[in-house]
């Protein structure tokens, strides 16, 4: 009876250790941005049509992360196209807002972004300022998205390129872990050893 009590306690301890051990696995984070197009950002109506325009091309990427953590990834390759924005437009700062679709692991939300443009005598500068908080919840983990500020200077008429990036923060939840095959194998070996020990004791008693 004492042996069976010890056996029960040992099995209970083993099951507790299995339940406490986290299941380590790599979660792929697949990101797709929809892109955007903004024109006449600094044009007062008397400048070149469709100039001081900002384009963000659609992009996609995949990232592998183990557990919680953060990484920086590309949202859009940017093109800032500058030109004459009209007499009297110099020295002006204009605020603007725009949106684009953002998809993470098949879940799509609308990303709201704020920006501004400064019109100078020789240099026009567009600023990506911030974005609204955005969280993707997948049950076992969540992803928070924060657009990183970005400035692009346009030195005279022409096209100027850069990148819009964001920080992605992954937070894992605490689901009931599923034992991995190696853990199940160890449990099976342990149970087989216990069964062999019980048979050996029974044979010794019958002798």
Give 145-202 pLDDT, tens digit per residue. Answer: 999 999 999 998 999 999 999 999 999 987 555 555 655 555 555 555 565 566 666 6
Residue 114 bridge partners (DSSP): 97, 130
Nearest to 113 by CA among 51, 33, 171: 33
Nearest to 112 by CA among 104, 100, 128: 100
Q: Where are the domains of the chain?
A: 26-172
Query: Which carries the bigger pLDDT value, residue 46 or residue 17?
Result: 46
How far is it, in rounded angstroms, from Cα 103 to Cα 33? 6
Q: What is the pTM of this model?
A: 0.71
- Compute the CA torsion angle 195, 201, 203, 207 (nearest 10 deg): 180
- Compute the CA torsion angle 75, 77, 82, 88 (nearest 10 deg): 10
β-pairing, 158-172 with 69-82?
Answer: antiparallel
Is the confidence at residue 80, as pLDDT, over 80? yes
Q: For residues 120-152, b (16+ Cβ closer than 10 Å) or e, as one string? A: eeeebbbbbeebeebebebeebebebebeebeb
Q: Are 28 and 143 contacting, i.e. CB atoms less than 8 angstroms apart?
A: no
Q: At what angle do helices 181-206 and 2-20 cross, to 10 degrees?
A: 180
- Compute the CA torsion angle 27, 72, 81, 100 (nearest 10 deg): 50
Lowest mean pLDDT among 10-19, 21-30, 92-101: 10-19
Is the confidence at residue 141, as pLDDT, over 90? yes
């Amino acid at each position: 009876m004492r042996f069976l009590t010890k056996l029960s306690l040992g099995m209970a301890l083993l099951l507790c250790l299995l339940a406490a051990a986290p299941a380590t696995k790599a979660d792929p984070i697949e990101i797709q941005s929809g892109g955007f197009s903004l024109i006449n950002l600094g044009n007062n109506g008397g400048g070149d049509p469709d100039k001081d325009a900002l384009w963000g091309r659609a992009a996609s990427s995949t990232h592998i992360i183990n557990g919680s953590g953060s990484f920086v990834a590309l949202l859009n390759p940017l093109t800032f196209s500058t030109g004459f924005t009209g007499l009297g437009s110099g020295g002006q700062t204009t605020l603007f807002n725009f949106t684009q679709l953002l998809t993470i692991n098949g879940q799509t939300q609308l990303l709201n972004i704020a920006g501004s443009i400064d019109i100078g005598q020789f240099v026009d500068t567009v600023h990506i300022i911030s974005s609204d908080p955005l969280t993707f919840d997948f049950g076992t983990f969540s992803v928070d998205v924060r657009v990183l500020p970005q400035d692009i200077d346009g030195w005279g008429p022409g096209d100027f390129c850069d990148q819009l990036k964001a920080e992605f923060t992954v937070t894992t939840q605490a689901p009931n872990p599923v034992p991995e095959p190696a853990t199940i194998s160890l449990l099976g070996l342990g149970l087989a050893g216990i069964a062999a020990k019980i048979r050996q004791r029974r044979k010794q008693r019958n002798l």
